[in-house]
Structure formats: structure tokens, C-alpha cells
Structure 1
Amino acid sequence: MNRPVTLVHRTSYRYDRPVSLGPQTIRLRPDATCPTPIASYAMDILPHGHQRTWRHDAFGNHEACVTFGQKVRHFDITVRLTADLAPLAPGLRPRTGALGSPPAAFTQPLPAGPHLRAFLADAMAIHDPDPVARLVAINRMIATRIAYRTRMETGVWEAEETLARQTGSCRDSAWLFIQVLRHMGIAARFVSGYLIQPDAGDAACDLHAWAQAHVPGRGWVGFDTTSGLLASQGHIPLAVALRPEQVAPVSGLLDSCNATLDVSMTLHRNGHHGDTKVTDPEGQ
């Protein structure tokens, strides 16, 4: 049974004076490997008079490169996409990407401090003949030990800081999981995307971060370190990369100025409008 929902995501920058924007890179489009069927997609940009070029980056992500020929007082991006969130049959969990071996860079970790070394000892003590079940157990261990918190400031904490604080945003816990797996010789990558939960009381939709691990014979499998669960049909990846800073939804240079950012999402389902809400701008 089809279960279409339409997400409208608005990102609005306002500047206190006319400014020159350098090329702006936008990573807000699912690619063909997205496991959730995308029925339609559109991106509108204001002000008019800009040039837009689509390209793929080194990781295969869709990037819109936008340039303006004149100074601007605002920069608005509106994404509209319709996705089919029908539950998948048992055993058909979403997976992303080819089944071949990933580049070696995805198995190279950063140096481990004492907190990470202690966590690694516990993770390596988990044994299961099913490689996915083992990864699920490690993912749940992170979700249990790291309390979720909203962090509005930019950047991602290193694994040592997240473990020391025993709390972090979704991007912090995802980066911790990635470092744990890379120290175990398992290829892992960072994911930025939409998390749509149409059954939540407020029809929640947010920008979210999670991780993907490469499982031989299955390809890239998604793990949500906030919930401790496998990624589901509600996880719509927009960009994957080696490091978190490579998947920023919007990046680019501009003149020195006072700027304000407003982000909102609206979910439309079964002909009704979901609540409009300001999102937690993870990764922005």
C-alpha cells in the first residue's frame, strides 16, 4: 500500500545590507540510491537572476551550485519532495550503494583517547555470527550511553568529547559510531538527511544525521544512533561523506554582515497539512 507524504522545507537567510554571495553549494536532493521511493522533487531559489548547475561530488551526492550576478538582501531555498513511506516487507530494510568494497579511507579512524579505547573494548567484546546484529548491538550501546541533546552551534564533537560528556546531538553520536567502527576495521560513513515521522503526534520532520556501515553482501546499511535502531523508510539520505563537514546542507562564502537564518518544515499527508515547525538544524 502506498503511503505518500509531501515535505516542504524552507531555508531563509536575511542580511542587514546588500551582500555579495560567493558560489553557494546546496546538498538537499536525494540521489537515485535513496532506498525510500521519491515520487517528485523540486527546488526553488530566490531571488531570481541566479544561475544553478547540478553536479555530483566525489561521494556521488547531488550538489546544486548557485551563483548570483548581483548583490542580494536575502537567499531563500524551498525544497518540495513527495516520498512513499509505505513500510517495507520484513527482511527488506533500506540499504544504500553498491555491494563492492568501499574505498580504504572509510576504514581509517582518528586517534583514540582513553574514553574511546574503553568503549572500543566493550564493543569488541560483542560477538554475533550475524554482522548486522553485531552492529545493531553496538548502535544500541551508543544510544543507551549517550543522552540526546539539541545543539544549535555548528560543528561536531570528537568521539572522546561525546563519551566524556555522555551526551550529544545526532551528529555527535553518529560520528562516535563511525569512529568506533573504523577502529574495528569496518567501513563507515556520515549521513545527513531528512527524518520523517508521520505517525508522531506533531507529524515530525527534521534534518537529521546518522551513520552507514558497509556490510559484505549487503552494501551500506543505515544506523540511527539517536534511537539505536536501523534506518527506516523515514530516513531519506541527502548526502554521505567521509567527514561531517562534507555534508553541510548549505555552504558558501558571503560578505561580512549580520545574517539571520530561519528554517521550517511542513508535512502534508493524506490531503491534510501537518504542523509547521522550526527544525533542529543539525549540520547547518
Structure 2
Amino acid sequence: MNRPVTLVHRTSYRYDRPVSLGPQTIRLRPDATCPTPILSYGMDIQPHGHQRTWRQDDFGNHEACVTFDRKVRHFDITVRLTADLAPVPAPLHTDARPAPPVAFTQPLPAGPHLRALLAEVAGIRHPDPLARLEAINRMIAARITYRTRMEAGVWDAEETLTRQTGSCRDSAWLFIQVLRHMGIAARFVSGYLIQPDIDDATCDLHAWAQAHVPGRGWVGFDTTSGLLASQGHIPLAAALEPGQVAPVSGLLDSCNATLDVSMTLHHGDDTKITDLKGQ
């Protein structure tokens, strides 16, 4: 049974004077391997008079490269997509694709707090590799209290463990470092999290991790909830490091700029607007 949900995601930049924008890279399009069926997709860019080309980066992510031939006072991106969030059973087939590059298994140096956590994780044993990773994910979700952080950037594993709190991107990066120290390939994911409950439908830009599980391929782990990624997790970009999956990146003239981001979720006859300014 289909369960379509339509998301409208608006990103608006306003500048205090006409500015020259360098090439802008936009990573807001799911690719064909997205486990959630995407029934329709569109992206509108304003102002007119720009050039847009689609390409895939080294990790296979879809990127829109946008250039302007004149100065602008604003830059607006509107994404409209319809996804089918009907639950589906986990795939039973074996993933025969080759293992990911070694770079996905190379961690950053571990500090004392991370070394202590790795010693605890070594005691988690299970004959099923996926079940073991689920237990580690639950451990991190229980230990790191979720918080919204408005400032840019991602904390390293040591800082997140020291504070025992962090944003979704901080706990995801911690989980990735743990897995890489275990020799398990892991990558950072940026995407949409849609929770279409009838009474309180919500959507957010979100970050989680994916681990490469033998026989299953890339499996998503949400370190905020401690659960596996589900139909509501729509990946937009996955890469070695968080900085490689930014939704929008590019250069512009020095100026005073303001950013406004909003999402509108249409679920049947219900519409819920979630303000994501600053996230």
C-alpha cells in the first residue's frame, strides 16, 4: 500500500548588497540507490539567469553546480520531492558488490575517552555482525544526549565523549570513528528525516552513519535514536567526512548575509511546517 508524502524544502539567502557568487554546489537530490522510493523530484533555482549542471562526485552523490553571470541580491533553492514511505521488509538478498575502498576504514587518532569506549565496545560480541553494530549504536545513543547546535562544524570524537552530548552529526561522527577503529568501513550521511505521524508530522535535515555489513552492503544507523535507518531516512549525500556532504557550499563576495530555511510536509490533507533556520 502506497504512503506518499510530499516535502517542499526552501533555502533562501539574502545579501545586503549585490554580490558575485562563485560556483555553488547543491547536494539535495537522492540518488537511484535510495532505499525509499522517490516518486517525483524537482529543484527550482532563483534568480533566473543562471546555469545549472548535474554531476556525480567521487562518492556517487548527485551534485547540482550552479553559476551566475551577474551579481545577485538573493539566492533561493526550492526542492520538491514525493516519497513513498510505505514500510517494506528488509532485503534478503546478498550484496555481491565489492567492498568499499580502504579509506572508509581509516580512523583518526584516538584520545583517552575514545580508547576507553573502544575497550567497552570490544566486550560486545554477537555472532551476527549486524546485531553487534546495532548494540554499539544503542550504546552511543544512550551515552550521548542529543542537543541542537546552531554553530557549523562537527566535534571530534573526544569532544563529544567529554561533553557526553552533541548534535546528530557529532554522534554520527563518533560512531564512524568507533567502527573505523574496529576495521569496519563506515561513512557519514546527510539527508532528510521524515516522520509522517498523523498527529505531528515533522521533517528535518539530519545526519546519520552507514556501515558496510558483509552480505548486506551499506546499512544506516541513526545514532540519535539508536535505531536502524528506516523509510523516513532519505540520504542525499554520503562521504568519508562530514564536510564533503554539506547541502550547499560555494564562495561569494564579502557581505552581510542572512539564511532562512523551511520545510513543508504534506501528508494527506495535513500540512506541517518545520522551521530549520540555523541547522
Q: TM-score, normalised by structure 2?
A: 0.97
Judge conservation of contact 1:174–1:211 (CA < 8 Å) in 2.
Answer: yes
- 211-220 vs 195-204, greater mean Cα deviation: 195-204
Alignment partners' CA distance in 2, 1:281 and 1:102: 33
Percent identity, aligned pairs only, is: 82
1:45 aligns with 2:45: yes
Structure 1 residue identity aligned to 2:234: I
Aligned to 1:253: 251
Judge conservation of contact 1:205–1:279 (CA < 8 Å) in 2.
Answer: no
Q: How far did residue 92 of structure 1 move?
A: 3.5
**Closer, same or farther in 2 for the Cα pair 1:218/1:121, shift >3 Å?**
same
Q: How far did residue 269 of structure 1 move?
A: 1.4
Q: How far did residue 281 of structure 1 move?
A: 5.0
RMSD, aligned α-carbons: 1.4
Aligned to 1:80: 80
Q: How far did residue 98 of structure 1 move?
A: 6.8
Structure 1 residue identity aligned to 2:17: R
3-state SS in 2 of match to 1:142: helix
Aligned to 2:19: 19
Report Cα offsets for 1:53-112 as digits up to 9, x if no partner: 0000000000000000000000000000000000112x339x9x9732000000000000
Structure 2 residue identity aligned to 1:180: V
Q: How far did residue 280 of structure 1 move?
A: 6.1
Judge conservation of contact 1:45–1:77 (CA < 8 Å) in 2.
Answer: yes
Alignment partners' CA distance in 1, 2:126 and 2:277: 36
Alignment partners' CA distance in 2, 1:113 and 1:139: 20
Aligned to 1:157: 155
Correspondence 1:118-129 to 2 at 5 A: 118-129=116-127
For structure 2, list consecutive stretches of 5 or more residues without a partner in the other structure: none
Structure 1 residue identity aligned to 2:203: C
Aligned to 1:145: 143
1:177 aligns with 2:194: no
Aligned residue among 103, 106, 126 for 1:105: 103
1:276 aligns with 2:260: no
**Closer, same or farther in 2 for the Cα pair 1:160/1:126, shift >3 Å?**
same
3-state SS in 2 of match to 1:111: coil
Alignment partners' CA distance in 2, 1:279 and 1:83: 20
* Count of residues paired in the alignment: 278
Report Cα offsets for 1:152-197 as digits up to 9, x if no partner: 1000000000000000000000000000000000000000000000
Structure 1 residue identity aligned to 2:187: R
For structure 1, list consecutive stretches of 5 or more residues without a partner in the other structure: none
Judge conservation of contact 1:27–1:64 (CA < 8 Å) in 2.
Answer: yes
Alignment partners' CA distance in 2, 1:58 and 1:39: 26
Correspondence 1:47-66 to 2 at 5 A: 47-66=47-66
3-state SS in 1 of match to 2:65: strand
List, as ranges, runs of 4+ consecutive aligned residues in structure 1 with deviation greater than 6 Å.
Answer: none
Report Cα offsets for 1:225-268 as digits up to 9, x if no partner: 00000000000000000000000000000000000000000001
Q: TM-score, normalised by structure 1?
A: 0.95
Judge conservation of contact 2:3–2:84 (CA < 8 Å) in 1.
Answer: yes
